[in-house]
Structure 1
């Protein structure tokens, strides 16, 4: 008598089972390609030279970098900028924006836009004094460049949350928007999952992080260990059709960040894959 057990134990049964699995795999639709990219915020590597930062990025397979001035100074020559981009290219990395850059005068705004133009990016992450926003509005039109204002949480007297930024830019040129620091937004008592949908049309960049508490005392932690629900955040990104970078900004153990960066990147990619299978 042929039972289910001895059928599956036989060569014919094993072949049939393998064929069935293959057919099911081919029938299952592949997850849709995500509109957003995963990258790294340069500040995560504030204690490291560029070569060291790029080696860490290589270890965790990250290919987009938000450029900070300690890796590419504002007064860099054309030759230095070209050498910088060549080094990134050798590591499979693209520098997609510059900043954050504090801008307290029109001269600093002029210098920031000129720096971005010379670096060859079309996005500046900045923190301008609010009274200078009409001037920033003028510059985004002049340079045809996007400018994303960074929120820094409850300690920030200028831009603590995405909502505060949105209210100041909503009637300005649509190239003026938000670099959404989801962790600082949460520390200011806001719902970062809801806010990424609410202000999506003005969010040009995301600093991806989690925090230990939704209060001023909250600290940056590994992405899967904080109070922001990352699976819900990923679903909100998809719903909002966000097309920019989610750049991990890891501010814990900053002199030895690789383990935490690797855990956070692995967790985020796992969430993206597992939630895609359910949609």
Structure 2
């Protein structure tokens, strides 16, 4: 049966080829396409998607796939970077019309690591840290967000994560903390745990500051990440939820399949996502 959803899946490859065929976007182009500019949320990418690539290579792929918001990983900008290194990093991003909107994820095993992360975020000039602290250090994180006025989004990692496996567990840890302590909601890991990411997004939307946009092959521990239009998460339904709750953060694609050759998968995923946005506006 040729449903609207299967049509979008089939069309994603064509959209990806269109993205890649367009070549590089100009640094003077708008940050967002006409479709994207009508949304409350932005489209970006998690820096971990480029773990095997140097910054110039990562920015090249972002230009080719028309992505302009990057969550900065420390393998591209080390935690101990000097002011000169940070300035050079931002200059390089600006050349590619990219904004570094957050840093992380950063694992923080003690208070010294938390101090380092907040100092790093302040020096980099972002107002959002994606982190994984130990639960016993959350009162200290609470103090730091008040001191720095920098938001802190804790990342869930699904089955096997003993700290923050899903949105329910995570919210239980932060619900009584400062409103600037929230979530980087990884919808794929949440689904792998067996939780419904759409229902959880609606339930906890006020505390979701960032999201890792991905799909998975099954709602089980063994589910693997895949192209956005090819998994079990209903992305068109997710878009409806994002609009309903007026999500205003970044939909940061975290592409973890074929990580040594991610370009076509990123292009297909974002082509599919943009196709869903466009089709749902016309329906």
User: When the two structures are superposed, what TM-score results if normalisation uses the length of structure 1?
Assistant: 0.88
Tell me the alpha carbon deviations over residues 204-250 of structure 1, each in whole angstroms, 9 at most, x when there is no partner.
00000000000000000000000000000010000011000000000
Q: Counterpart in 1 of 2:208? A: 203
Distance 1:195 1:52 in 2: 35
Q: CA deviation at 1:273?
A: 1.1
Distance 1:67 1:155 in 2: 25
Structure 1 unaligned spans of 5+: 1-29
Residue equivalent to 2:163? 158
Q: Give the secondary-structure state (helix, strand or coil) at the position aligned to 1:199.
A: helix
What does 1:46-85 correspond to in 2, within 5 Å? 46-85=51-90
Query: Which residue of the partner structure matches residue 123 of structure 1?
Result: 128
User: Which residue of the partner structure matches residue 189 of structure 2?
Assistant: 184
Higher relative contact order (CA 8 A, sep 6+): 2
Match of 1:41 among 39, 43, 46: 46
Moved over 6 A (4+): none
Determine which of 251, 260, 263 is the counterpart of 2:256.
251
1:96 aligns with 2:101: yes
Q: What is the aligned residue count?
A: 249
Q: CA deviation at 1:276?
A: 1.9
**Match in the other structure for 1:148:** 153
Name the CA distance, whole Å, in 2 between partners of 1:101 and 1:240.
27
TM-superposed deviation, 1:254: 0.3
* 1:277 shift after superposition: 2.1
Separation in 1 of the partners of 2:280 and 2:199?
Answer: 18
Unaligned residue ranges in structure 2 (runs of 5+): 1-33
| Cα separation, 1, equivalents of 2:164 and 2:260 | 28
Q: Following the alignment from structure 2 to structure 1, what is the Cα–Cα distance between the partners of residues 281 and 223?
A: 30
Higher radius of gyration, 1 or 2 = 1
Cα distance between partner residues in 2 of 1:227 and 1:259:
20
CA distance in 2, matches of 1:142, 1:170: 19
Deviation at 1:194, TM superposition (A): 1.0
Other-structure match for 1:213? 218
Match of 2:246 among 223, 241, 249: 241
**RMSD of equivalent CA atoms:** 1.0
In 1: Cα distance, 2:199 partner to 2:230 partner: 19
Distance 1:194 1:276 in 2: 22
TM-score, normalization by structure 2 = 0.87
| Alpha-carbon distance in structure 2 between the residues aligned to 1:275 and 1:194 | 20
